[in-house]
Structures are given as structure tokens and as C-alpha cells.
A and B are shown apart, each in its own frame.
Chain A
Amino acid sequence: MAHSFGRILSSKRNVGILSLIGAGSVTAGFLLKREHVSAGAGVRRVYPASAEYPDLRKHNNCMASHLTPAIYAKLVDKATPNGYTLDEAIQTGVDNPGHPFIKTVGMVAGDEESYQVFADLLNPVIKERHNGYDPETMTHPTDLDSSKLTSGQFDDRYVLSSRVRTGRSIRGLSLPPACTRAERREVERVVVDALAGLKEDLAGKYYSLTNMTDQEQQQLIDDHFLFDKPVSPLLTCSGMARDWPDARGIWHNNTKTFLVWINEEDHTRVISMEKGGNMKRVFDRFCTGLKEVERLIQEKGWEFMWNERLGYILTCPSNLGTGLRAGVHVKLPRLSKDPRFSKILDNLRLQKRGTGGVDTAAVGSTFDISNLDRLGQSEVQLVQTVVDGVNYLIECEKKLEKGQDIKIPAPYRK
């Protein structure tokens, strides 16, 4: 019954978060102002902080760049009200020193309160990862009004598919690195219950990873929907894969254009996609679907983790703000060989990935092109950036086809 977990009835306007008080008592629904989040019961410690400070000399990730011995000593005895600690938050970054060329984040949040209790470390990490965004002074705009998007129909001869994804966390329940089995099962219950209320072109079905038939599994693989137990040590070292596949599953609508992952790296990952270049329709469905799911969980007394400083709260600090990655698979055989390609992408605030997603290579000059930014700009702004940028890339490709020269665009200004 939902009252075992905290329920909040607050609108987005109120800056408040629920904090469950640990150590034996259950409180239902009580608001605390952000400034008064109290850490939970102190951590038992036998050795001084200096004996526990990790060896980060060979490390190259955001956590290692900012975790000084002084900050470590200050935070190491603290725990969030649910009992999540600094050592747990940084474990993934300690265990994965990183790569000289790729700078990973190196830490995760175990719950909403982590972003407050460990702010002395998380704020500089967020600032570095999100190009100077300062959570202490700035506010993040949320805008899911897809009608504002212009020119969102790409040339289908170049754009093979369009996709927008984000994540959402259920307020009051711990995040995947820290959640107990009971909490994870509650996330599943709350989300599946809400998704069952979707209608018409959003109506669909849930496939639990523990109860899937072989046939269902094969179909989901063929549709490229099935997600596996994480193998990346970046994820497994943070404890996100515990108890797999308990309370994990995939929901999708009957037309296979709106998909929700439950309890993978985040409570939910929400994906809208279709073949071809109609990013406008993909984004419309994305916004409608998200708002509808939000309305349905609110009917039952739940809400998403969100605040005006950090936007939507997710497990990895890299996904704060919008948590949004809007992208296309696009054919750019000439442009991708042009030495100016990377610079053009940079100035358009876009990134390229292979068609298998993050850490994969491109196949046959078809690239996954998406927005770089997540925090500090709204959903509408970021998708518009992708639309404008991809249209520019296609124009370049067409120019090169005709033997004309292309220009590097001016660097993007917000």
C-alpha cells in the first residue's frame, strides 16, 4: 500500500522535497524545505578520513578532479536520510579511473537528497560537466510545449530515423544505485500502473524481464527494444545491476513508437521514436506521453523528482536538467570525411555516436547525431538545436554532392 512510502502532494511551484526519516520510523508525506535537508544517522567510522581518502592520482574523471582531501573529510561522515553515503556515491569513479581522452563523471546519486547532502562535491562536478552551469545561482527552464518546435521535418533521403529520450525518477523512492528491492518493486508498480492508463495511440503493454516468454523476448530483440543487464563497469560498480532482473521491464505502445524502460540506469527511461525524419511528430508524442504519465502518477499521489535548480533529477549528474537526448540516424558520407566535420558539430552543440549508441562506431557513414547539452536549456530549446543543426548538416552534405564548398557555422549562442 502506498502509505508505506512517502507521498507528496505538491506542485512544481513549491520548492520542497520529501525526506523519509530513517532509523525505524515511517512518516507519511512531510515536506521539508530544500535548505533544511538533514543528513541521516552518521556513518560508523574506524579510520580517520585521511586513511580512507581514495588514491586518485591516475584518475581522469570529474569526481577525481574535484574531490579534494578537504571535501572528502567534510562529507565522509554524512549520509542522506535513506542512509546513502559519499563512499557509495563515488565508488564507480574510484573503480573506473577513466580514459585520457574521455572524461566520465565518476559518481552517481543514490537518492534525491544526495544532490543536497553532497552538494560540496556535486556542484563543482555539475559545473564542469554542464559547461559552467552553477546550481547555486542558476535556474533551469523546463518546457515541454512541442508546438513551439519549427522546421522539425527532415529530408527522409538523409535521415533514417528520429528519436528523443529522457529519464524520470519517482520522488520518495531511492535511485537505482541505492534502492532496496522493495523500493525498486514499488517503482515498477507505480509506473506500470500509470502506463496502463494511457489511451489511443499511446495505449500499450508491459513486459516484465522476469516473466517474459521466449517469444516476447525474441520480438523485443527484433524490435531493438530489449535492454540487457548492464555490463559497463561504470554502471555495475555503482550497484545499479543488483538483484537483476527483479522489477525490471519494458513497456511500449501498440504502434511501437513510445517506449519506457523501468529500473535500468534510472527509475524510467522514456523514448519516443520512429523511422524517417519527422522529428516534430516524435517530439509531439514525447511531450504528450510524458505529461500524460505525469498526470496519471499524480492522480495516485506521486510525482517526478524535479527542482528549479537542477531540473529533472536522475541517477547520473550528466543527465540532470532535461535528461534529454534528441537524435537522428543520418547519412553523411561526404561531410563525415571532411576535416571540418568535428568543428562543425562542436559549433552546432551536437555530438556524433555510432549507430549502436554511446561508445560505438559508425557503420557505413550513417551517424547518430544528437544534442550535447542537457542542463541549462529547455527541452524545446535543445530539440530545436538538433533540428537546426541537422538541417545544416544536410545542407552541407547536399552542397558537397554538388561540388560546392561549405562553411563552418558560427559557434552556437543561447
Chain B
Amino acid sequence: MPFGNTHNNFKLNFKSEQEYPDLTKHNNHMAKVLTKEMYEKLRDKQTSSGFTLDDIIQTGVDNPGHPFIMTVGCVAGDEESYEVFKDLLDPIISDRHSGYKPTDKHKTDLNFENLKGGDDLDPNYVLSSRVRTGRSIKGYTLPPHNSRGERRAVEKLSVEALNTLDGEFKGKYYPLNKMTDAEQEQLIADHFLFDKPVSPLLLGAGMARDWPDARGIWHNEQKSFLVWVNEEDHLRVISMEKGGNMKEVFRRFCVGLTKIEETFKKHNHGFMWNEHLGFVLTCPSNLGTGLRGGVHVKLPKLSTHPKFEEILTRLRLQKRGTGGVDTASVGGVFDISNADRLGSSEVEQVQMVVDGVKLMVEMEKKLEKGEDIDSMVPAQK
């Protein structure tokens, strides 16, 4: 949990090597980068809201990681964290985002019309399509750091903004702490309800404090556009529907996001964004677009093919189980989504999903007929 600046000043009474964490058994991005020298250099710094180095790294210290999966191991407490602690975060960002340099610029493109195709993914294979991202509201600290007062202010502002939406976006907010049993049942049945985080990666960063205070779910009447308030980020925005019409899902995503952003700007609180990091979110892994566009797709044959992993890597895609991150696939159905977040635009990333999934479905069909797919394996994108 975050201790902030009052406690950090006290810590400075001790020498750096007395406070430096033991990272010898750790395998995460933070542990790879945080040398004793860097710790000494950054330990007396804080952002203007009082977020400190130890607050940033606590989750990485408490979760040594896994020999095969490389977690990030740190979080931001506010927009300024990425500036004040850039000596630590820039190399982590570079490692995590394929060599992204501190001088690189990130392109934002939410023009859904720039997407080619995406309305013709075979619904016999593609069961559902979904695009999600996160947004942070400028001027407020992030979930690892915010106080109850601040979190409530984020909720209040978000609900005001969302309530101005109309047409296909007209909807309703369900705060977690006031939900009726009937509402809760319905949200669970719709697969909308999010729970208090259980992952120690999130708990170690202090994001679940005061649960369920100021947390809630907003969705439109058609249940195709959904916003989570105060879970891992200020806002998580989700557009989804059954079947393979990713084009429509992306259109609704872009239109809805743009409308929401306009409303927030009118309240003098736009989204955190800059031309180097794109959209600023709690976890460095979600910088840039913060976008995960994906499908649930049946690939029973392709998923057991020896080249499956290689194909995914070359297409810049990743697989997950149908329960989302850290789950297993059920019945040969996989969650396939873009691997990249930073350094390419929203349109580019969704394009990769559309093109890649289309190719993999064709491969699956070929394998069903007993044919070879080696000639179809793509070059590295």
C-alpha cells in the first residue's frame, strides 16, 4: 500500500544500501533495471502529489515474478511519475515495448474509417469481438495512490460525463456498493461485473484499497458499450458484441470514446495524454493506445499445430484463455488479441487483429481439410 511522502522523509534517515530491496530472486522488468545506484539516485524524489520510488516498485518487490512470464513490476501513481522517475521507467518501457526510445513519438488514430475490412470475420469461428482501452483523467492521481476523496471525485465526474451520452450510447451507472441483488445477477449474467482484484500484482500496488467505495459499472442499453470506473485505471472502456464484426465494434469504440473525451474536456478534465507516451495509464504495459482488441475464436487444430506460437509472434498477436489474462483456453477457443500497445496507433493495432485472425481462420479451415499450412505462415510484421 502507498505510504507517500511523510513516511519517505523518515526513510531518508537510513542509508540507501540499508533500504535497497533484495531483488536477487526476482524476474520482472523493474528488477532488471533498478540497480543500487539508481535506487540511491531516485529515493529522495517524489511527485508533487507525494508518490515515491518505493511506492512505484512495491508491487515488483512483493511479486518476484515467474521464470517464464516477465511482469512489469512497477506502477505509476500519477501522470508525473513517468517524468520524475523516468530514469527507471524509460528503460522499463523500452524493454516492455520492443525498444521504444525516450525520444520516440506515439501516434494516436481513432478514425474508425481508416480500418480496412473487419466486418467479414467468419462467425462460425469467431464467437465474439471486443476492443478495450483505459483512460486516466487529468489532474487526479491514479488507483495505486488516490485517496478516497479523490477516487470519489473521479467517480462523480465520470458518471456526470457518461450520463450526457445519448443515442446508441444512452445508458446507466451501477455503483458497486449500492447494487441490488437483481442488478448484480444481471451484470454477472452479462459478463460485465468486475470483482475486487485478487491478483497479488494488483493488490501489492494498493489498487484495491477501500473496495468497493467509488467503484462501478456503466453500460449502454444495448449492452454493447461498457465503462468500468476505478478498477485498475480511472476508466476502462469496452466495446463488444457477439460474432465477428470487429469493424462495427471498433466504430462504436472510437465514436463512444471521442464523445466521452469531449464531455470530460468540457468539465476541464481531459484525458492524460502526451505525444511521447500516448495515453497515460497505471501500468506501463498499457501506455500508448492502452488498447487490447481481440476475439474469441475457435482454433482447435491450429492451436495444436507446432507453428502456432510462431505464427502468433509474427502476426504480433497474443493468446489468452477465454477467462482473460492468466486463464486457460476451453474447448479449443482462444482469446486472440494484439500484443503491442505503444508505438503504433489504434487503427494499426486493430488492423493487425483483423488481418491476423482472418488468416488464422483460413489456416484452421485448411487444417480441417487435412491440408498443409506452411506456405501460409507470414513474415514477421
Contact = CB atoms under 8 A, between A and B. Distances in A.
Interface residue tally on B, bucketed by range: 35 or more
A358 interface: no
Contacts of A180: 7, 10-11, 14, 19
A118 B210 CA distance: 20
B152 A41 contact: no
Contacts of B13: 4, 20, 22, 24-26
B305 to A, nearest CB: 39
Contacts of A241: 62
Nearest to A96: B211
A83 B14 contact: no
Contacts of A88: 1, 3
A244 interface: yes
Interface in A67-88: 79, 81-85, 87-88
Contacts of B10: 20, 22-23, 40, 81-83, 180
Contacts of A47: 147, 149-150, 153
B282 to A, nearest CB: 19
B95 interface: no
Given A91-B1, A243-B61, A46 B9 contact: no
B5 to A, nearest CB: 7
Contact of B21 (A22, A55, A58, A246): A246
A241 B20 CA distance: 17
Interface in B197-225: 203, 208-211, 213
A94 B210 contact: yes
Interface stretch (A181-189, A283-291, A377-385, A398-406): A181-189
Contacts of B327: none
B321 interface: no
Contact of A178 (B3, B147, B148): B3
B149 A54 contact: no
Contacts of B14: 4, 180, 182-183
A294 interface: no
A107 to B, nearest CB: 14
A210 interface: yes
Contact of B61 (A26, A79, A242): A242
Contacts of B332: none
Interface in A340-360: none
B1 A55 contact: no
B148 A242 contact: no
A41 B9 contact: yes
A182 B209 contact: no
Nearest to A25: B13
B3 A83 contact: yes
B153 A95 contact: no
Nearest to B13: A26
Contacts of A40: 6, 10
B128 to A, nearest CB: 34
B9 A52 contact: no
A237 B150 contact: no
A51 interface: yes
A43 interface: yes
- Residue with the greatest number of chain B CB neighbours at <10 A, chosen from A25, A46, A48: A46
A23 B9 contact: yes
Interface in A220-252: 236-237, 239, 241-244, 246
B376 interface: no
B12 interface: yes
A239 B1 contact: yes
A242 B208 CA distance: 15
B103 interface: no
A148 interface: no
A44 interface: yes
A276 B52 CA distance: 52
Interface in A166-220: 178, 180-183, 185-186, 210
Interface string A325-348: 000000000000000000000000
Contact of A182 (B18, B22, B148): B18
Interface in B1-37: 1, 3-15, 18-22
B6 A79 contact: yes
B50 interface: yes
B114 interface: no
Nearest to A43: B6
Interface string A32-66: 00000000110110111001111100100000000
Interface string B157-169: 0000000000000
Contacts of A239: 1, 3
8 contacts: A43-B6, A46-B147, A47-B149, A83-B3, A83-B6, A87-B147, A185-B18, A239-B3
* Shortest 5 CB-CB contacts between residues of A and residues of B: A47-B149, A83-B6, A182-B18, A51-B149, A182-B14
Interface of A: 4, 20, 22-26, 40-41, 43-44, 46-48, 51-55, 58, 79, 81-85, 87-88, 91, 94-95, 178, 180-183, 185-186, 210, 236-237, 239, 241-244, 246
